[in-house]
Structure 1
Amino acid sequence: MFPKNTWYVGATPNEIDGKPLGRKICGESIVFFRGPDNTVAAVEDFCPHRGAPLSLGKVDNGKLVCGYHGLEMGCDGKTVAMPCQRVGGFPAVRTYPVVERYGFIWVWPGDAKEADPAKIHHLAWADDPAWSYCGGLYHVKCDYRLMIDNLMDLTHETYLHPTSIGQKEIDETPPKTRLDGNCAITERYMEGIMPPPFWQAGLRGNHLADDVPVDRWQICRFYPPSHVLIDVGVAHAGHGGFHADPKIKASSTVIDFITPETESSTWYFWGMARNFNAQDQALSEQIRSSLSKVFSEDLQMLEMQQQNLERNEGRKLLSLNIDGGGVQARRIIDQMLAAEKAAA
């Protein structure tokens, strides 16, 4: 259903600020916390004493303290102490490879021996002060692959987001899909059109006229296991579109880290990285608020879609040319699953 020998975004740093965080990732119940040197640890969310969730406890001097009977757990999954008890022989609980990088906490839910931090997807914008990022987290009750389908086919914007990013020209411009190694890419370029409301605001945010024709682009890139990064933006028409001088365009990368929780639920870490007026916090909040509304419209549709598919299990769905990116992404996922199965 979902590959496990790979890196997923498990949390954001603020979620474990002074407290443990319990989260199910790919069916694995994990608790994240900070150890004595402030590095992130991830262990099985299970107290070896009576099976209580360790995430219901607290963090004390870098040790995870069970909220039931006070058992103290170390970052290595071994029991450290328990009031008035001899617990040195307690079996260790499972630990998970975890890395804090690019403003996210990444976890490897599969075979720990295979976990190589070098395999974490490089996010150049995260280390560049000319860029800023704003985003959030949604819990979505749907198969993570439905979210990938949604993000690799932006035709739905015309209908699901008509007051923000949707416009008829999206329908009128067929996308093109291609593969670059194990990256599936779907791209659409629209020339000489009027910007929709969201991009009118983006142009104003870069001190540009918002009532003139623009060239608009959408370049969706799927990176396995479930990351979709989308280059989006508009430039005043006739100046090169995606390749136009930054002074006459508003461009961003939509960040979508899609982490399976179960077979029918997903943690969706969303946001936008931009390289114009990066220090303008008011603009960042405006973008975050607008994106939150857009993505909430997606969630309602995806959750109802999941319910409909469950009621009609086994019913064949149709694929059109607009679905090419999602189809390629699913093939890549299936190849990862087959490789894991063969290795096992």
Structure 2
Amino acid sequence: MFPKNAWYVACMPDEIDSRPLGRKVCGESMVFYRGPEGEVAALEDFCPHRGAPLSLGRVVDGKLVCGYHGLEMGCDGKTIAMPGQRVRGFPAIRSFPVVERHGFVWVWPGDATQADPAKIHHLEWADNPEWAYGGGLYHIACDYRLMVDNLMDLTHETYVHATSIGQKEIDEAPVTTRTEGDEVITSRFMNNIQAPPFWRMALRGNQLPDDQPVDRWQICRFSPPSHVMIEVGVALAGQGGHEADSKVKASSIVVDFITPETETSIWYFWGMARRFKPEDHALTASIREGQGKIFSEDLEMLERQQKNLLAWPGRQLLKLNIDAGGVQARKVIDRLVAAEQGAPMEAPE
């Protein structure tokens, strides 16, 4: 169950620079490639001749050529040519609205008439030389809402990420959750604590001492359909915490674009954008490596959790105060899906 009338991250540009890419998004099998002027195109991954996956073909002069019998497809889904055959009368296959922006390729799997590029999230860190970004992609066999739950409740860091970003103070700090329209924000602030290993590394990267007490914050922001941006960081204790001057803190935005593949699998585009030392490429690589290891620790937990939920579909799960962010995010998702299906909607709280 996922909203289809929404923009999802489908891939990163370098995934389609030299070849077509087959990827399923929200249950729709798609092929992505670059057309004649280098623009991105997205079609259903189905050759109208014999049903072969077009993603197994190649791109020639901006035309997608089927790898089975050489049928050439245009970016609009219409057939162009085929060796020795007349094919222009073939019915067009489905094309999907697609936009390349902010260093990602976005696709709209629903009603194309509603696909307004202005609805793509504004990302303050994208295309801004004051920021640096590094990230990656994981394929995870779980319901996308489990990842939303995971990111909107960072209590799990104490246990899943004990050697990197976890610490007991996360359990002890109070959590607040609020909604702003369709956005859900969960916040946690920890004052006068020791920084965990990952943040000690970040402090050193910003030429700050790593052995002094810090104030730490986590502000998780869910935006539909399934995106979570998390403001995280540490500042030398007593300097203003989240509002401290950049000279005394190391802070970042954890970037989480969660794209459903099927009901029980996702494409997880993860990364971290930071506003300190953006010119330090070695630091970017170091943070990316650390982030990659952290997110890989979530992978096994979520996949095993999904297997348990499938094995015991009737089991009721406990809901605690720390789950408020995920619960509210699911209400937003449910409301959007109901609206698409024409069902009665629950009013936002």
Q: Same fold (TM over 0.5)?
A: yes
- Matching residue of 2:81: 81
In structure 2, the residue matched to 1:146 is 146
Q: Letter of the 1:268 partner, please give it.
A: Y
Q: Extract unaligned runs of 5+ from structure 2.
A: 345-349
Q: Which residue of 1 aligns with 2:98?
A: 98
1:232 paired residue number: 232
Q: 1:326 matched to which residue of 2?
A: 326
Cα 1:343–1:156 shift into 2, 3 Å? closer
Match of 1:339 in 2: 339
Residue 120 of structure 1 corresponds to 120
The reply to whether residue 37 of structure 1 matches residue 57 of structure 2 is no
1:148-187 Cα offsets, whole Å, 9 max, x none, are 0000000000000010000000001021100111110000
- TM-superposed deviation, 1:343: 7.8
**Matched residue count:** 344
Correspondence for 1:53 = 53
* Residue aligning to 1:308: 308
Residue type at the aligned position of 2:218: Q
Q: Say which SS state the counterpart of residue 234 (structure 1) adopts.
A: strand
SS of the counterpart of 1:124? coil
The 5 A counterparts of 1:164-313 are 164-313=164-313
Letter in 1 for 2:59: V
Aligned alpha-carbon RMSD (Å): 0.9
> Deviations along 1:7-62, whole A, 9 cap, x unmatched?
00001000001110000000000000000010000001000000000000000000
In 1, the alpha carbon distance for the partners of 2:157 and 2:311 equals 26
C-alpha distance in 1, partners of 2:145/2:255? 16
Q: Using a 3 Å threshold, how does the CA distance of structure 1 residues 49 and 343 change in structure 2: closer, same or farther?
A: farther
Shift in Å, 1:124: 1.3
1:202 and 1:164 map into 2 onto residues whose CA distance is 12
Pairwise CA distance, 1:233: 0.2
User: Against the structure 1 CA distance between its residues 113 and 59, is the aligned structure 2 distance closer, same or farther, given a 3 Å change threshold?
Assistant: same
Which position in structure 2 is the counterpart of 1:132? 132
| Counterparts of 2:124 and 2:278, CA distance in 1 | 15
One-letter identity of the residue aligned with 1:91: P
Residues 136-145 or 312-321, more deviating? 312-321
How far apart, in 2, do the equivalents of 1:60 and 1:174 lie?
57
Distance 2:64 2:314 in 1: 44
C-alpha separation in 2, matches of 1:343 and 1:104? 33
> 1:220-274: CA deviations, max 9, x gaps?
0000000000000000000110000000000000000000000000000000000
> Letter of the aligned partner of 1:289 in structure 2?
E
Deviation digits for residues 274-321 of structure 1 (CA, Å, limit 9, x no counterpart): 000001111111011111110000000000000000000121111100
| Letter aligned with residue 103 of structure 2 | G
Q: 1:39 is matched by which residue type in structure 2?
A: E
1:121-167 residue CA offsets vs partner (Å, 9 max, x unmatched): 10011021100100000000000000000000000000000100000
State the partner residue of 2:159. 159
Identity of aligned residues (%): 71
Find the residue that maps to 2:290 and give its secondary structure.
helix
TM-score normalised by L of structure 1: 0.99
CA distance in structure 2 between the partners assigned to 1:208 and 1:238 by the alignment: 15
**What is the TM-score when the length of structure 2 is the normalising length?**
0.98
Structure 1 distance, partners of 2:246, 2:138, is: 31
Q: 1:67: how far off?
A: 0.3
Stretches of structure 1 lacking an aligned partner (at least 5 in a row): none
State the shift of 1:342 in Å.
Answer: 0.5
Equivalent residue of 1:316, what SS? coil
One-letter amino acid matched to 2:189: Y
How far is the alpha carbon of 1:204 from its aligned partner? 0.2
Partner SS for 2:129: coil
**1:63 equivalent in structure 2:** 63
* Aligned-partner residue type, residue 254 of structure 1: V
Q: What SS does the aligned partner of 1:41 have?
A: strand
Where 2:126 maps in the other structure, the secondary structure is helix
Structure 2 letter corresponding to 1:185: I
Q: Is 1:25 paired with 2:25? A: yes
Taking the aligned partners of 1:212 and 1:343, their CA distance within structure 2 comes to 55
